[in-house]
Structure 1
Amino acid sequence: MTHESLPEKQQKAQYEPYKGPAAGWGALKSVAAHWLDSKQPIKNIRALLKTNQHGGFDCPGCAWGDDPKGGRIQFCENGAKAVNWEATRRAVGRDFFATHSVSELLQRSDHWLEYQGRLIEPMRYDRATDRYRPIGWDDAFALIADHLHRLESPGQAEFYTSGRASNEAAFLYQLFVRAFGTNNFPDCSNMCHEASGVGLSQTIGTGKGTVTFDDFAEADAIFIFGQNPGTNHPRMLAPLSEAVRRGAHVVCFNPLKERGLQRFQDPQAIHDMLSNGAESTNTAYFRPALGGDMAAVRGMVKCLIQYDEQARMKYEAPVLDWAFIERHTQGLEDYIAQVKATPWSQIETQSGLTRVDIEVAADIYRKSSKVMLCWAMGITQHRHSVATVQELVNLQLLRGNIGRPGAGLCPVRGHSNVQGDRTMGIDEKAPSGLLDALEKVFGIAAPRGRGHNTVEAIDAMARGNAKVFIGLGGNFAQATPDSELTHQALTNCDLTVQISTKLNRSHLVKGKEALILPCLGRTDIDMQASGPQAVTVEDSFSMIHASYGQLPPGSNQMKSEPAIIAGIAKAVLGNRPIDWDAAIADYGVIRDYIARTIPGFENFNERLKQNGGFYLGNAARDRRWNTSSGKASFSANPLPDDLLHERIKASGQQPDVILQTLRSHDQYNTTIYGLNDRYRGVSGQRRVLFMNGDDIKRLGFAAGEWVDITSLWEDGRQRRVAGFKLLAYDVPAGQAAAYYPETNPLVPLESRGTGSNTPTSKFIAIKLAKSERQDRDRVLYAG
């Protein structure tokens, strides 16, 4: 079958409310379709059975941890999609690029680009023909070295990392880049959970969550904020459903009523499959305003303080854990003063919830001895996201719900090793302890100046201050905010290098010179001089797992990420500060270096042999607070005076609604598996705008009309996306939702979280206008 015919299936855009449960039969049907579409179903079913198993490979999807008591099936629907999407027989090499120019490929959809298959040989862009042409590995490495050596300073290069890079790749990458002389490490966590790391580090002394998988079985209540596990972390639904069955409370705060948090059917549980998932996953569901979670939690705290004062007046058992507070915390007095100074009118207005709603949530929290708080990007992609994370910490500190079984803080990470990459040193503001260790072990002069995060890297490239961009995985052009500006920034570069498994838009939005370097994926056997190699990853629970690829690579021209990094490093630095070839011959050498450098990895190679991997540890879980005071800190942050940024108000217009970006069920981050969103009832279309029906009428539109969307921001630039179909949906008034990356152009680069620099993708002030074309409801193409 030719590339041109794939996947030009005609689909008519449809919407039909989904009434079934999440997962279950629908998930099995979807898995079967993607499995067959891989073009090598027999090999892939064997590979799927090795997913998240000892001696197998770690799922290339999300960072959710493995059930220590799990059986042979340790993958979910989206994990199966990720495996089959990566382990495809379709290939993209010289013949493909001889047929397709870059200009032509730029007109294709993101789904079509990745659908074409695995990249199988290194390619260099040829400006004269507007096509990529084959290049040898040594020549590619030499070209990169030439560009890096030509820079006026190492700070003119940006070294991006995707969260799917292994620990071994990330460690080598940061070692090479720091030996080269810069801390410019923009990475995907800057756009997602940076606020969690900042907020947690400042309060409890670690940027990671404090819970393990086993805590879900002991929690009396699990509160979920700004997260949609049914699509983003489907394996999380099993412990949530089990918690409800044993009598625990699951309390959800999410503006949209997501199907996975309402009704769930566990494909591995016969009872669930036969009963059609009749049991509700949640016990309470609250729908705050976008950006209103901090106010909602502040209201809960206000209730708890009142409950405690009333109990003590009656000589009853206190509601707050005063023994824990006095021994382990500081700053309570200032925080309580801030809470009492926050009026209920502000809490209700900003949260979008009534006082009665908040009192119900607070009462569930008070009556639960052991409480876990889980959150994701619905919390972290706001201007006041760091303060919101700290308010979640405040709530837990009041009742001593950190550092005991069944309780704690659980930021649920996205990419499978985004947490591990930070542990390995992918950090533009690296801690001095890491830099000291690098200097001691490797004899380098580690750069001490702060490097660039993602938005700063875009700004540097846009201004012409950065000349070389190297991307270790991911799809930088599409994952980032302010797409037009980001694309301009990339094209300003003298050289862009993409280390990738599949074709994506970042290969097409490129510098004056460009390289595509094809790498092995998680499913591929990584054969080096000493034999097949394992790489390692760290999940959301700080468990370290080994991952062994199971399938032969599609080409002998594909290299592993560690091997590509080592090849670049050797071309740039020679054999310093390590013997790069020796490190690639046996990844155990890399792990020995990690053991000597990174705390918690002592005896790394030996501990990795344990079934299920090993727990890295967490000081806050042990109630050891790595803060300057040696105690956990309450944060007396006021609620924002106004959720609207001053630059929005300076535009001189009032927003029609506030938009949040989100994933469809047929995507993972920027990878689009298909055009459907089963749980929201959408098929054959991605350019939809979910809006409250009353808002549609209020603004003078009708459901089904096509609109253009403009975001409000005062900087002289217009940010607009065209052709979105209005879909009347159960969205709170004043809010709207749409998929990314299609709506990333609307997010201003300067609209960032305070203290985190994370793009505010969950709070975009927008205006709507009737689209010039109303005939868009035509046959759509999966391509």
Structure 2
Amino acid sequence: MAKPRVSSYTQPAGGWGALAATAKALAEQGILARGSATLLRMNQPAGFDCPGCAWPDPDHTSAFEFCENGAKAMAWEATEKRCTPEVLAAHTVAELATWADYDLEMLGRLTHPMAYEPASDRYVPVSWEEAFGRIGAILRAQDDPNRVEFYTSGRASNEAAFLYQLFARAYGTNNFPDCSNMCHEATSVGLPQSLGVGKATVLLEDFDHADAIFLFGQNPGTNSPRMLTSLRAAARRGAAIVSVNPLRERALERFQAPQNPVEMATLTATPISSLYLQVRVGGDAAVLKGMIKSCLEADAAARAADAAPVLDWDFIRGHTIGFDALAADIRATAWPDIARVSGLPRGTIEEAARLYREAKAAILVYGMGLTQHSRGTETVRLLTDLALLRGNVGRPGAGVCPVRGHSNVQGDRTVGITEKPDPAFLDRLRDVFGFAPPRAHGHDVVRAIEAMIAGEARVFIGLGGNFAAATPDTAVTQAALRRLDLTVQISTKLNRGHLVHGREAFILPCLARSESDVQAGGPQSITVEDSMSMVHASAGRNDPASPHLLSEPAIIAGLARATLGETPSIPWAEMIADYDRIRAAIERVFPIFQGYNARIRVPGGFHLTSLARERIWATPSGKAQFSVYPGLGEGAPGDDAEVLRLTTLRSHDQYNTTLYSLSDRYRGVFNQRMVVFLSPEEMKRRGLGIGESVALETVSTDGVTRRVGGLKVVPYRVPDGCCAAYYPETNPLVPLYARDPQSGTPSSKSIPVRLIRTNQQD
């Protein structure tokens, strides 16, 4: 292993660095030639959808519609490496549990269904028939269907997710913890309260018409790199781009477009942010209240001078309710408090507000830096309030844009993956499939973990993902998983979740997004929905990594038949033979998919209409709803100057819990992950040197000690009083109780911690 080091990275985001990293990723997986050809089919109308982020495809695709991290995601799943039964036979589970997550995944693609054998402490191969039969028997033996947790990753297709929820509801439960619970659930709860829809109100084309784009808690260079193409184009035509983020991220500063020959040849780059607000961790609500306050004050001054109003009063009076309550709360909020909590001077916030006021059309973009807080839902609504003040919803170049994480996390929710199903949806499911779905609300992620801890849940089935590593309060969660009767993982590669298992455990290997899926009716396509509600087809062409792999829909159907028996009203075999039949069923249950099969055959797919985009408000009042955000959130530094606010983050070579390498190029960290980022001023105040060994300990309210040691101090541009570190390594610091009460989203982006000096061996 190369020696860990920290060195300054001076290059722009993208550019030659991205090309070199792409080539290296393909070479390391042994697919330099084959992988290069596969990339040319990614995000193309007749190709397959990127298995990484959910950023939408442009209408007119070029030959190269992939980014560096998308290429890494493809290389990760299309690798030549194989995790065969022979590989697993050489290692006990106890031994594998001591390996780093990166090393586990680098074993390669899983090739056979496997079952845990307690006597040898190993996974051993089983037939699909035996795996389905044993799992089905355990499910049938449960005295209450609600003892089973059906977890879903955002990687699953619409077809797989629909069958999964159909299986679980026919079985008798609405327990659907999913990855959205841990990231954008605040969006799914907050936006419907304000706008009547839980999705973006913009299309990709709106970025071509926006006068200003505001980015809150979103690092596109790592999390959605293709977004940089739109930001670069906006910056070059003179649109204002304002970034609100605790860390100075390279991609928000300057970007070198790999597809632009002039920038590549001249080693130049395009500046991205017109204004950069380096907000204190947890201070986003204060920034938003400050911007709203500035707009209200400017509007009052304009009206007093008999000038044109700043606010869109026609929109406010015709389309909204609740403005007076919002305005009263904002006026009562003092500027000194806003500055103190945000960590920003009043003048900086007012400059951001000025850019917003002067824009005829503005897009408000946000990511998990806004949602993963104890008041995430309220903050999402506060951002929406800012949009409503100037009518920036439902017109070209304007809107609210939550940037989703995994490629189909939004689509999964659209086709029924929710623990709180709408009664009308359940009625349609009953009418189409002839059974009575359960009506009681089920478990989200945190409630599922609590049910495991309490012994109420006995079985966990994971459709993708790495639940054991991705969830908060790692030690408590993993202990609860180990007490289960059964854990089942539908996966492409070995990960931590396979080693934190129940009394019985199965690994069910599935096809990857880039691989061909051939069923009885011939080659199949699946569909996904991106962050802007575009639904399109995806069809892999690579040969499967093993002849023993099944598709996710086929695995789900196999589990359902083994558990429920043959159910004439749910023709599992017929639907698996031809995925058009699954989509026809989706259309019958969800009218919004009218003409599904015909529409996905149109290049680029189709848009699921957002009522808010049409200025139709599906709220109880029939109007968009302003909100009141009491106080200024959790960002106040408090009385103890020694307490830091920790935000967890991804490295550049990471997607969710998947690690492509142990480096983070843009932040200058190489060959290591156990680091904590502090400002040079904070390091000086605490007498810390570069590379000094420290631990972080949560300031808990339940008396439980939560500690992560072995961290090395790295200087970085972080606000004083704050720090940052990678997840999942620091997930043990996030208590289960630290969550948004409305959405249940863990507050992973604002954890109060103490920093403790340790010796080298800690």
Is residue 599 of structure 1 aligned with residue 591 of structure 2?
Answer: yes
1:455 to 446, 452, 474: 446
Unmatched segments (≥5 aa) in structure 2: none
Instruction: Look up the match of 1:724.
Output: 711
Residue equivalent to 1:619 = 611
Kept in 1, the 8 Å contact 2:734–2:751? The answer is: yes
Aligned residue in 2 for 1:745? 732
Equivalence for 2:195: 204
Q: What's the offset of the Cα at 1:301?
A: 0.7
Structure 1 position 441, deviation (Å): 1.1
1:635 paired to 2:627: yes
Q: CA deviation at 1:47?
A: 1.1
Q: Is the 8 A contact 2:375 2:633 kept in 1?
A: no
Residues 39-50 of structure 1: pairs in structure 2 closer than 5 A: 39-50=30-41
Cα distance, 1:772 vs structure 2: 3.0
Which range moves more in the overlay, 41-50 or 457-466?
41-50
Identity among equivalent positions (%) equals 53
Pair 1:378-2:385 in alignment: no
Answer yes or no: is 1:544 the counterpart of 2:535: yes
Deviations 1:640-673 (A, max 9, x none): 465479xxx9xx9765311110000111110011
Task: State the distance in 2 between where 1:545 and 1:394 align.
Answer: 32
Residue by residue, what CA displacement relative to the aligned partner does 1:685-728 show, whole Å, maximum 9, x if unpaired?
A: 11011001222232243222111211111223211111000112
1:306-321 equivalence runs, <5 A: 306-321=297-312
Q: Which amino acid aligns with 1:272?
A: E
Within 5 Å, which residues of 2 pair with 1:289-688?
289-576=280-567, 577-640=569-632, 642-643=634-635, 655-688=642-675
The one-letter amino acid paired with 1:327 is G
What residue is the counterpart of 2:688 in the other structure? 701
Following the alignment from structure 1 to structure 2, what is the Cα–Cα distance between the partners of residues 644 and 567? Answer: 52
Q: How far off its partner does 1:70 sit?
A: 2.6
| Mapped partners of 1:605, 1:731: distance in 2 | 49
Q: Distance in 1 between matches of 2:293 and 2:682?
A: 32
Partner of 1:301, secondary structure, is helix
Q: What is the CA–CA distance in structure 2 between the aligned matches of 1:15 and 1:107, rounded to whole Å?
A: 26
**2 CA distance for matches of 1:384 and 1:705?**
34
Q: Contact 1:365/1:371 (CA < 8 Å) preserved in 2?
A: yes
Query: For residues 599 and 363 of structure 1, what CA distance do their matches in structure 2 show?
Result: 43
* Conserved? CA contact 2:648–2:724, under 8 Å: yes
Deviation at 1:272, TM superposition (A): 2.0
Asked if residue 100 in structure 1 is aligned to residue 91 in structure 2, the reply is: yes
2-structure distance, mates of 1:270, 1:41: 23
Residue 496 of structure 1 and its aligned partner are, at CA, apart by: 0.1
Q: Secondary structure at the match of 2:167?
A: helix
Against the structure 1 CA distance between its residues 641 and 13, is the aligned structure 2 distance closer, same or farther, given a 3 Å change threshold?
Answer: closer
Distance 1:337 1:730 in 2: 36
In 2, Cα distance between the equivalents of 1:350 and 1:596?
50
Task: Name the SS for the 1:390 alignment partner.
Answer: helix
Instruction: Give 1:685's aligned amino acid.
Output: Q
* Structure 1 residues 284 and 594, CA gap change in structure 2 (3 angstroms): same
Larger CA deviation: 51-60 vs 274-283: 274-283
Q: Select the residue among 202, 206, 225 that pairs with 1:234.
A: 225
Aligned residue identity for 2:330: V
Which letter maps to 1:275? T
Distance 1:260 1:548, change over 3 A: same
Tell me how large the CA RMSD over aligned residues is.
1.3
Moved more, 97-106 or 690-699: 690-699
Q: Which runs of 4+ in 1 moved over 6 A?
A: none
Q: Is the 8 A contact 1:263 1:277 kept in 2?
A: no
- Does 1:14 pair with 2:8? no
TM-score (norm 2): 0.98
For 2:677, the equivalent position in structure 1 comes to 690
* Corresponding letter in the other structure for 2:158: N
Q: After the TM superposition, which residues 247-266 of structure 1 pair with which residues of structure 2 at under 5 Å, given as runs? A: 247-266=238-257
In the alignment, what sits opposite 1:82?
A: 73
Q: What secondary structure does 1:12 align onto? A: coil
User: Structure 1: how far apart are the matches of 2:268 and 2:746?
Assistant: 37
SS at 1:563 equivalent: helix
The residue that corresponds to 1:710 in the other structure is 697
Aligned pairs for 1:129-148 within 5 A:
129-148=120-139
* 8 Å CA contact retained: 2:215, 2:242: yes
Give me the whole-angstrom Cα distance separating, in 2, the residues matched to 1:642 and 1:727. Answer: 25
Q: State the alpha-carbon separation in 2 of the partners of residues 339 and 258 from structure 1.
A: 30
TM-score, normalised via structure 1 length? 0.96
CA positional deviation for 1:94: 1.1
Q: Classify 1:236/1:205 alpha carbon distance in 2 versus 1 (closer, same or farther; 3 Å).
A: same
Of 111, 121, 124, 2:102 maps to: 111
Alignment partner, residue 767 of structure 1:
754
Shift of 1:248: 0.5
- Asked whether the equivalents of residues 499 and 517 of structure 1 are also in contact (C-alpha less than 8 Å), the reply is yes
Structure 1: state its 5+ residue gaps: 1-9, 777-783
CA separation in 1, counterparts of 2:393 and 2:746?
29
Question: Match for residue 5 of structure 1?
Answer: none
**Which residue of 155, 174, 179 corresponds with 2:165?**
174
| Aligned counterpart, 1:286 | 277
Q: 1:49 to 1:699 in 2, by over 3 A?
A: same
